[in-house]
Amino acid sequence: MTVSHDQTVECVRRGDELQALGRLDEALASYRRAVDLQPGDFVAQLSCGNLLAKMGQHESALGYFDNTLQISPKNAAVYFNRAGSLQSMERFDEAISCYRAAISLRPDMGMAHHNLATCFLQTGDFETGFQEYEWRKSSPTFDDPRYALDRPWNGQDLKGKTLFIYPELYQGDLMQFCRYAFVAERMGARVRLAAPTAMHALLQSMSPTIELLPEDAVPAYDYQCALMSLPHAFGTTLATVPRGRAYFRAEPQRVARWRKLIGPRGFKIGVAWEGSAQAVQRSFPLAGLQGLATLPGVRLISLQKHRGLDQLESLPSGMSVESLGEDFDPGPDAFLDTAGAMTCCDLFITPDTSVAHLAGALRVRTWTALPRPGDWRWLVDRPDSPWYPTMRLFRQTSPGDWASVFAQMETALKPELRTR
């Protein structure tokens, strides 16, 4: 028994080492050897489940998580991990039950509340989802000292009051949810919005009277609200998402410049294909658009910045993507040329990245390519977005299957091209 236990511990230790080196298949084999030696070992079973989930093999991971719960039926972390696999498989009702089980055992488990929120949001229950999403403020992956500021805004009358809004997460989140700053101003508030300086010129197009501040500023205020708390404070439901008009404006002189450079010829499709390094699963290969590029009259025009430009050098034979040159969005102000150029195109195709939100905020006709599973903000299995009326969503049929997305796009575009 002792020999078997020592061997089990050694197999788990070796698996941990191999996993740290990125040798995941070998690590899994070592963990499975530990399970074979001692099926009742909690750590060995959990290690198998966690690594399988990391590798995207969620169905297999569930079996190990179930075994782990038989060994330790009141372990909140196991319920949490099991819920994560169910959520990745888009089995949301089961995931919700598992997150709730974790929370019943650890009521203060902030990430369980946060992930539970994303399940509700993805299935369209915005009221419950945004309420639960407030738990992010006590989650280890969210850290902003401004969460402790006094006088939070929770829907009080804003007429004549100063509302300070501070940013969270990434550029796309800022572009999606800054719309509430404009709504608050229309309710009579004086709005002070903190944001990265490079974004100020774009954000100013919402309203010249919204005061823009440095990203880390904390000015005087009557009320304050974190950016991602605004939907909850406004009581947003699926039916009340603010989407009455375009809330960004492209600078007219930039529109004129890029319209002249791009010209009127053909069916002009602006394209971006790669997002940030933190979300590589959302990026798609530019070469996958080859079928669209060869349709009669289609011109692909690159609106890609920084990452992914190397793909322009290795396109398939016969595929052409036009570049707008090195002076495309070169200055300190982000997205201004991108905004101008995309308004000159007949269509914009993008992955789930910041420029998707830019296009949606400008009300540019946009086709967004989504991985499976998709992010909560795109909901589940619907072709439209309540956040962006001019956007159409194209989803993978299975994880990693971008070919199915491009095939859907080709099918959708061909009838339109025949009528032009």
Q: Does domain 252-419 have CATH number 3.40.50.300?
A: no
At residue 3 the predicted structure's pLDDT band, cuts being 50, 70 and 90, is: low
Range 2-138 classified under CATH 3.40.50.300: no
Nearest in space to 177 (alpha carbons), one of 152, 203, 138: 203
Instruction: Give per-residue burial for 19-37: e unless 16+ CB within 10 Å, then b.
Output: beeeeeeebbebbbbbbeb
d(CA 256, CA 276): 29
Specify the pLDDT at position 325.
Answer: 85
Q: What angle do CA 268, 274, 275 make, to 5 degrees?
A: 120
Burial of residue 3, with CB atoms counted within 10 A of its CB: 0-12 exposed, 13-18 middle, 19 or more buried:
exposed
The three-point CA angle 312-318-320 to 5° equals 40
279: pLDDT strictly greater than 80? no
For 19-40, what is each residue's pLDDT tens digit?
A: 999 999 999 999 999 999 999 9
pLDDT per residue as tens digits for the range 149-165: 999 999 999 999 999 99
Place of tokens 């394209």: 271
Beta bridge partners of 393: 368
pLDDT confidence tier of residue 243, bands split at 50, 70 and 90: confident
Q: How much is the pTM?
A: 0.92
Interatomic CA distance for residues 10 and 3, integer angstroms: 10
Mean pLDDT of 199-210: 95
Residue-wise pLDDT tens digits, 288-298: 999 999 999 99
- pLDDT at position 143 is 84
Structure tokens, 299: 């011109």
User: pLDDT tens digit string along 86-122?
Assistant: 999 999 999 999 999 999 999 999 999 999 999 999 9
Indicate the pLDDT class of residue 139, thresholds 50, 70 and 90: confident
Fold: same for 2-138 and 252-419: no
Mean pLDDT over 314-324 rounds to 91
CA triplet 237, 238, 243: central angle to 5 degrees?
100
Q: Check residue 157 and give its pLDDT.
A: 95
CA distance 103 to 119: 14
What average pLDDT does this structure show over 279-292?
A: 91
Distance CA 111, CA 87 (A): 14
Q: Which of 316, 313, 303, 315 is nearest to 273 (CA)?
A: 303
CA-derived radius of gyration, the chain: 24
Every domain of the chain and the residues it spans: 2-138, 145-233, 252-419
> Is the pLDDT assigned to residue 1 strictly greater than 50?
no
Residue 415 reports pLDDT greater than 80: yes
Q: Give the amino acid at 74.
A: K
